[in-house]
Every structure is written in C-alpha cells, then in structure tokens.
Homo-oligomer: A and B are copies of this chain.
Amino acid sequence: MHNIPVGVLGASGYAGQELCGLIASHPHCNLVFATANERRGQTLRVRTTHGAPRDITMIGPDDAPIGDVALVFSALPHGASVDWVGRVLDAGAKVVDLSSDLRPGRGGSTHPIPASVPAQVPYGLPELFRDGLAQARVVANPGCYPTSILVALAPFVRAGLVAPDALVSVAAASGVSGAGASPKLELLYAEVTENFRAYSAGNVHRHLPEMTDSIARLGGNFDLLFTPHLLPVDRGILSTITVPLREPLTDPLAVLHAAYDHEPFVEVSAALPALADVVHRNVVRVSAVNVQHVRSPTLLLFAAIDNLVKGAAGQAVQNANIMLGLDETAGLPQ
C-alpha cells in the first residue's frame, strides 16, 4: 500500500504541475508517468516536502503506460479529457478527472461520452458528497469556483435557511493561474498587473451548471448569480456571497462550525479570509457575517481557496486517497 503507481495526463498546465508536486511528496503514491503534448520531452521540476526537488520528463500521452498504474489523474483540457477517461477505464485503472467533462452539466460539452464511462459519475467534493466516492472507478473533480462557493453555502442550504426563490449573488475573484498556462495576450504580465476586471458576466460561466445542480441536490430552491473576476495574483480565489435568509440568524458562524469542525480541510474563521491565508494549502477557509442596515435578513459568506490546490490538484489527490482506501489527508498540505 505504500507504493501505489499513479500517472498524470496533462502535466504541463498549472494544475498538472501542482499534481505532480503533490504526488512526488505523497507518502503512499509513486508517479509513474506525466504527459504533455507540445512540451513532451521537456523536464518538469517539482518540489517535494521531503528531500530535494525532483525532475520529471514529460512524455507524449500515447506513450503513457496507463495499464501499469492504479489510478490516473486527467488534467487534460475540457473536451479532450473524457475520451482519455474511457481509455484509462478500459485499461483497468481508476480515474480522477479534473476537467469539467463529467461534472453535472458537463461544462456545456456535448462531446459523446465513451461507453466505458458510467452514466453517473460521482462529483468529488468530499466535504459535501462523500458517499460513493470510495467505491467509484471514476470521479469528477469539481471546479475551483464551485468548490469555494458550495462549501460556504451548503450548511445554510441543507438547513433550509436560504430564503426560497431568492437570488444568491456571488462575486468571485481568481488569480490568473486559473486561466491556464497557454500563452494568451490577456494573460501577459503587462496586461494583468495593476488591473482588475469581471468576465463571463451575466451568469454565463461554464461553472454555473455544476453549482446549480449541486444546490438542488442539497435541497436548495433559489437562483444563483455568479460573476467571476480576474485578479492580479498568481493563485487564489475569494468568493463573496450575498445570501437572503428565510429568517434572521443569531450566529451564522455557529452553522459553519457545526458543519465543518470535524473536516480537516475546511477552516471556519471569525476573521475575514484572505488569499494569503490559504495559498499552497488544501483548505477552504470560510466566514459568515450578518448584514446590518437592511430590511430583510441577509447573510454574507466568504470563502477563500488556492485554486490550484483545494480548487484542483489537492482536491484531486483527496479524491484519489478516498478511492484508493488511503487516509483522506495523506500527502495534502493543511
């Protein structure tokens, strides 16, 4: 059990690089391969928590020995991942898919799902939906924004505290690593520094369906408005969530504590969470504040994560730990 072979498809992106680093530091997993397309043949240097950095040579995906590993992480682009999930399952390995291809709503994709992929793939947000993950052969790893928003909202939704038919409005801001490592003009340093802007405005971001589906599953009956923004930082997401309440709440922080004090990867905080609190950690840091000077009871929720860790690679390892029967916290920075 201390040397489980795993592989990474799509190692050259920021989430893929983060995955390789976490696996290289993992006490029970062994990185057998890491693939890249354009950067195949190049060396990826990853840091480990014990010992010197490790250099990994990325290979082409078709050269990956997917039949020799117990589990594959797919950090391939949306649209391209699902076919590889099918291939990996056919080869007998388990898969954590970091793309949106198999999440609820599929990120809007209409690409056909291979026959070997189950019709219903568990959504791997363990703090909310841990049931079924341990038995799953494939898990859809949540998006970064949804992880932050759903963890903050869920206890209030489950307890029926959100006003019915209300509009829950989320202003979220992400670092640029969330947009990937493919060179684009709008991601150049000179374009991002000292700048800030919204994007996908009007509720059209492809992360919306996995959030609305999850809210319904939690018993919620309200609308979600999600407005993402691009921050001049490398990593981190902060979600600021306005929640109309059914009735006033005396102690909203207590609701979060009750839900999460036993969870190793959720940190309930009276102080407002900042990106600096969470970068390089596999945690969601959440807080809750009652709104003053308004006529209807209203709650503000805040959730901060590292988009590459709890928002991608860290959560993927957390899901893999569950799927492989390991301690859920193994190899993960708290």
Identify the A interface with B (CB < 8 A).
Answer: 14, 47, 49, 51-53, 165, 167, 169, 171, 173, 175-177, 181, 183-185, 187-199, 201-204, 208, 212, 223-225, 227, 229, 231-236, 238, 240, 242, 244, 264, 272-276, 279, 281, 289-296, 298, 300, 302, 304, 333-334
Known: A52-B334, A232-B232, A240-B171. A194 touches B276 (CB 8 A): yes
Whether A289 lies near B201 (C-beta < 8 A) is yes
Would you give the shortest CB distance from A55 to chain B, in whole angstroms? Answer: 12
Given contacts A227-B240, A234-B189, A238-B229, contact A208 B176 (CB under 8 A): no
**Which B residues are CB-close (under 8 A) to A294?**
167, 203, 223-225
User: What is the distance, in angstroms, from A127's C-beta to the closest C-beta of chain B?
Assistant: 15
Residue contacts A-B, CB under 8 angstroms, 28 given? A51-B334, A52-B334, A167-B298, A173-B173, A173-B196, A175-B194, A176-B188, A183-B187, A189-B232, A190-B234, A193-B233, A195-B236, A195-B274, A196-B238, A197-B272, A197-B273, A197-B275, A198-B240, A199-B272, A201-B272, A201-B302, A202-B300, A203-B293, A223-B294, A225-B291, A225-B300, A227-B242, A232-B233
Contact A202-B275, Cβ < 8 Å, known A183-B188, A242-B242 = no
Question: Shortest Cβ distance from A185 into chain B, in angstroms?
Answer: 5
When A and B form their complex, which 6 residue pairs have the shortest distance between CB atoms, in order from nearest? Answer: A171-B171, A197-B274, A183-B183, A189-B192, A223-B294, A169-B242
Q: Are B223 and A53 in contact (CB under 8 A)?
A: no
Chain B nearest CB from A153 CB (Å) reads: 15
CA distance A189 to B53 in the complex (A): 23
**CB-defined contacts of A51 to chain B, threshold 8 Å:** 334
Q: Looking at the complex, which one of B165, B167, B194, B223 makes contact with A234 (CB distance below 8 Å)?
A: B194
Q: What residues on B are CB-neighbors of A184 within 8 Å? A: 183
Closest to A301 in B: B201
Once the chains are docked, how many angstroms separate the CA of A186 from the CA of B201?
29
Across the interface, do A236 and B194 meet the contact criterion of CB distance under 8 Å? yes
